[in-house]
Amino acid sequence: MEKPTKENTLYLVIKQVYFDEILAGKKKEEYREIKDTTWKKYLLQENVQFKDGVDVLPCLKFPEEEVCELSKAGDICAYNKGVFPYRPIEYKYLNLAVGYNKDRQTMIVEVKDISFQVMTGRKGLAIFYDDGENIQIVDDPVKANACFWEIVYHLGKVVEHS
């Protein structure tokens, strides 16, 4: 098995309750919202373009005819018929730390798989919205062309703990 390195390990800060659940083997996934400010940490950045002062990530996963116009424009919030058309950085491990204190607890956890899903709200319903001038949250993907996506790290065994 490959050993954790800076290149194959993603560092994330989490709350103590989730840290304890992962350590106990109860929590098997770690979720992170993909935002304009964080996508570079999670997604492959091949062929990134710079348009109108913004980095634009081209779709990397599907033929162009299978990708909606918002995705073609590099919008990471495009619903794209429920398929996230970008590829993740294939991290092998997560380095999880509780908070930012110098003497915080840390652990390294194996990543078994990586997937994407539409984020859900408090009632467990997916969050879709119309990406027009007036953003309105809707609960039906037929009425929406955008959503909030999250990356899901499916966790394996704890490799290190301190």
Task: Count the neighbouring beta carbons within 10 Å of the beta carbon of residue 68.
Answer: 17
Q: Are 156 and 109 spatial neighbours (Cβ–Cβ below 8 Å)?
A: yes
**Predicted pLDDT of residue 75:** 80
pTM listed for this prediction: 0.87
Report angle CA 103, 106, 111 to the nearest 5 degrees.
165
Q: Are 57 and 39 spatial neighbours (Cβ–Cβ below 8 Å)?
A: yes
Q: Are 57 and 43 spatial neighbours (Cβ–Cβ below 8 Å)?
A: yes
pLDDT mean for each 10 residues of the chain (162 residues): 93 97 97 91 76 61 71 80 87 96 94 94 74 59 78 97 92
